[in-house]
Amino acid sequence: MVIAATVVSFAVTVAWIAESGPRPPAGARASSGPQRASSTALEVAGSGSNLPITRRLLEAWRARTGHPFVLHSSIGTTGAVHAVRDGAVHVGLLSRPLTDAELAVGSGEFERVPYAWSVVVLAANPAVRDRDIRSSELLALLRGRPSAWSDGSPRLFILRERGDSSHRAASLAIEGFAEAERDAQSAGRFRVLYSDVELRYSVLGTIGALGFTDLGASVIDGLPLVALSLDGVAPTIENARAGRYRLVKPLIALVRARRDERVESFVQFLRSAEARAAVEASGFLATEPNGSSR
């Protein structure tokens, strides 16, 4: 299954990456990180997994309310917790459950608002002709055993940093993945990247490459990556909703329990039918109004 159909030109895109590095999310404001929440704009920052769909939701919310917003570049889930606690942003973006240490940062002060589930996919370079990979093949690759696509070309796995939310989803769904990943990390077996967008564009520009990313983000970016079935199960919204495809992760907004009208307006929008429709249309799985996951 090819994730998306249109990009300007594959060759031009790869050349652009080679010259300029990975492209940031469309319209994201480059910065060294949020400093202090604006008194006028809704300031939002957090996990890179959340950024593509959250930008769409923020734009729809702005069209409805007229409120301005700033969506910062990725600062991670942990960074989001601290930024909300410190008043640097109004809304933090989480792509995994919080650790005990993170929960202790704002115990009793925060509210978590689930608004989507991301379908995590093993995305491969567009030149790859295979459409399925076995979990046993993936584990063998991580453990350093020779591994090739059906045409004989070598597989090249691209890792994310330790604690990445997509790898966490894989650890929950694939028996043995956590141990194989730790082995690959410790051995320095593969290149390690530190953002979702960097991984997607690196897979796009590297023949034979594969790595974990978000289905919806690739749809929004318009990238022609190959979304591999895992053990014969396709990474579709329908399969994820039915529980057949188990690699999913939550997208959650973190806000203060006591908040102003502007933040409350965005929270209520995230819970609206309009937001759920936008989530589903973008290749994500919507969270139900009662907060249930699937």
Residues 111 and 126 both lie in one domain: no
Residues 105 and 198 both lie in one domain: no
With both helix axes pointing from N to C terminus, report the angle between 261-270 and 273-281 in degrees, rounded to the nearest 10: 60
Q: Is 150 part of any domain?
A: yes
Characterize 92-114 residue by residue with b for buried, 16 or more Cβ atoms within 10 angstroms of its Cβ, and e for exposed. Answer: bbbbbebeeebeebbeeebeebb
pLDDT for 105: 87
pLDDT for 1: 61
Residues 34 and 75 both lie in one domain: yes
pLDDT for 40: 87
Residues 32 and 91 both lie in one domain: yes
Write out pLDDT tens, residues 185-224: 999 999 999 999 999 999 999 999 999 999 999 999 999 9
DSSP-assigned letters across all residues of 43-84: EEEE-GGGHHHHHHHHHHHHHHH---EEEBPP-HHHHHHHHH
Q: What's the mean per-residue pLDDT of the chain?
A: 87
Q: Is 4 part of any domain?
A: no
Mean pLDDT in residue range 86-105: 94
Residues 93 and 155 both lie in one domain: no
Q: Is the pLDDT of residue 123 over 80?
A: yes
Q: Is 291 part of any domain?
A: no
Residues 142 and 180 both lie in one domain: yes
pLDDT for 8: 25
Q: Is 86 part of any domain?
A: yes
Residues 213 and 232 both lie in one domain: yes
Q: Is 292 part of any domain?
A: no
Q: Is the pLDDT of residue 291 over 80?
A: no
Q: Is the pLDDT of residue 236 over 70?
A: yes
**Which percentage of the chain shows pLDDT scores above 90?**
81
Residues 237 and 282 both lie in one domain: no
Q: Is 149 part of any domain?
A: yes
Residues 112 and 130 both lie in one domain: no
Residues 151 and 217 both lie in one domain: yes
DSSP-assigned letters across all residues of 122-173: EEE-TT----EE-HHHHHHHHTT---B-TTSPBPEE-EEPTT-HHHHHHHHH
pLDDT for 294: 40
Q: What is the residue range of 137's domain?
A: 10-17+119-242
Residues 264 and 201 both lie in one domain: no
Q: Is residue 173 within 8 Å of residue 247, measured between CB atoms?
A: yes
Q: Is 257 part of any domain?
A: yes
Q: Is 163 part of any domain?
A: yes
pLDDT for 108: 76
Number of domains in the chain: 2
Residues 229 and 87 both lie in one domain: no
Q: Is the pLDDT of residue 11 over 80?
A: no
What CATH number does the domain containing 89 carry?
Answer: 3.40.190.10
